[in-house]
Structure 1
């Protein structure tokens, strides 16, 4: 395949996937903010995850629009876009890790003690700290020290991603063992506890799928960034071979797909999200049916008036006669 054709196909795919990521994650953010059934403390970190994926998708869309062949849209200083993308990535990974810690604490500590450690206010505080500290570090280094910013963007961030995903996987293994233990010890009369264990297992599988998809989508890109950075630092060598560029393109495409998979898994797996999605479709269907009936009624009424202009006066006279009698 010729290089211009490969570049064109790559950027088209990236624009399509990043656009879908923007739309789906924005819909998730708006749904959680505007829907009382979703605006609960257990969805705070899910909101942070969707918002971070939205920011990454926006940065990815702008980058590929800027690099598109013969594109009139050009950014003079694209480094801030790379910084925005990496910031969204790190916050997304940290939000996924926070969800795992939250489930682990609820299952192993809050379930045993009388005092709750995980509360809505504390979850919001953790999200605010993450959203303040992470962008501050990335954009501060970008503005004051380009060398340290490159180390953070291209070496430390991939290492943080891999380490966070590894810790998250360990948390879910511990959670799964605890849920399995609870399920084994459930008696015949513990119906409520059994339902709670099944619900916890379903939530566990949902976010385990998020971690698995994130790991599968990010492992290639993290390795590419680390290898590319180390080869440039130690050997002053830029890897421009065709196979490495194709591997980097595959990693970028998988990263853009990951921004779509996270909200899709959440919407399809979690019962409350799936219920709200079904409700939205039912409301939309009812609204379309109502509009169709209204238009049909208006058409029928206009046809009746046109074909029989005296019908209205006849009805009025009849009603007046009835009242008079």
Structure 2
């Protein structure tokens, strides 16, 4: 419906049509895309969570951080859906924006912890002799990602400056990159061909998630550091962040033989064989 105003001329009332700027139409299209991306993210990440919960074969230590990442992505997607669907024509409440931002901090920390987990299991204690990595410790680490996000949420509520949050995330990304570089060094130095092949495949999977996360988050981080009041730029940055919520599960499904094998087993009730840890 085209909004209009009226001007009285003599005995006649002439409608004055107010046309929308092309930029406004682009912003509307981006917001619709954001809603679709967030909804798709809920579906894809829910499939990972449901599969882990329903399949005892996948309830393994090395899937704890993957499970946590899926939960964080779903939470982010739900907050985004509420923000866009309910407040599309109004100003989004600050508490929703900070909640969404804190979930991004939790996700970046989870990516770092996943890299550290792989570093310890590949480089420091590959055979678990020193028992450095245990299931309770992994669960506690995941809880800390949520606690960290909650603390960031509280601080941002009382402090409108968000530049330090972006610096926080960039610091996590830097540590993650260093961890994966050390992992690569350990993987390539292994003499066990079977273990080398398995670790290399896992490394490619998680490095892909890391690289795409950095690539999709850079626009949003740049926006907070060099703040811009342009609505179009803000929506493009949000679109980039929402796209990352879909890319993560897509990469995981494409690279994980274990999850695809177990999905086929559950859907078709076939016994394909044991899943390798």
TM over 0.5: yes
Counterpart Cα distance in 1 of 2:153 and 2:255: 36
Instruction: Say whether 1:207 aligns with 2:211.
Output: no
Counterpart Cα distance in 2 of 1:50 and 1:89: 12
SS at match of 1:114: coil
Structure 1 equivalent of residue 185 of structure 2? 177
Contact kept? 1:221, 1:251, Cα under 8 Å: yes
SS at match of 2:57: coil
Instruction: Say whether 1:276 aligns with 2:262.
Output: yes
| Structure 1 position 134, deviation (Å) | 2.8
Contact kept? 1:91, 1:131, Cα under 8 Å: yes
Contact kept? 1:37, 1:272, Cα under 8 Å: no
| Structure 1 position 97, deviation (Å) | 0.5
Structure 2 equivalent of residue 294 of structure 1? none
Counterpart Cα distance in 1 of 2:133 and 2:54: 23
Counterpart Cα distance in 2 of 1:282 and 1:212: 35
Q: List per-residue Cα deviations over 1:168-223 (Å, max 9, x = no partner).
A: 111111111111111xxx3xxxxxx2111111100000000000110110001100
Q: List per-residue Cα deviations over 1:70-91 (Å, max 9, x = no partner).
A: xxxx78x722211221121111
SS at match of 2:226: helix
Counterpart Cα distance in 2 of 1:219 and 1:4: 24
Instruction: Say whether 1:46 aligns with 2:54.
Output: no
Cα 1:8–1:112 shift into 2, 3 Å: closer
The farther-off stretch of 22-31 and 100-109 is 22-31
Task: State the superposition RMSD in angstroms.
Answer: 2.2
Indicate the structure whose relative CO is greater, using CA pairs within 8 Å and at least 6 residues apart: 2
Structure 1 equivalent of residue 6 of structure 2? none
Structure 1 equivalent of residue 40 of structure 2? 20
Counterpart Cα distance in 1 of 2:253 and 2:39: 18
Structure 2 equivalent of residue 63 of structure 1? 83
Instruction: Say whether 1:259 aligns with 2:245.
Output: yes
| Structure 1 position 281, deviation (Å) | 4.6
Counterpart Cα distance in 2 of 1:180 and 1:68: 50
Counterpart Cα distance in 1 of 2:59 and 2:107: 19
Structure 2 equivalent of residue 168 of structure 1? 176
| Structure 1 position 141, deviation (Å) | 3.5
Contact kept? 1:45, 1:127, Cα under 8 Å: yes
Structure 1 equivalent of residue 52 of structure 2? 32
Contact kept? 1:55, 1:84, Cα under 8 Å: no
Counterpart Cα distance in 2 of 1:264 and 1:104: 24
Counterpart Cα distance in 1 of 2:153 and 2:222: 24
| Structure 1 position 138, deviation (Å) | 3.4
Tell which structure's C-alpha radius of gyration is larger: 1
Q: Which structure is higher in strand share?
A: 2
Structure 2 equivalent of residue 141 of structure 1? 155
Structure 1 equivalent of residue 93 of structure 2? 78
- Structure 2: unaligned runs, 5 residues or longer: 1-20, 271-277
TM-score after normalising by structure 1: 0.71
Contact kept? 1:100, 1:171, Cα under 8 Å: yes
User: Which of 64, 83, 101 is 2:116 aligned to?
Assistant: 101
User: Which of 249, 261, 270 is 2:235 aligned to?
Assistant: 249
| Structure 1 position 162, deviation (Å) | 1.7
TM-score after normalising by structure 2: 0.83
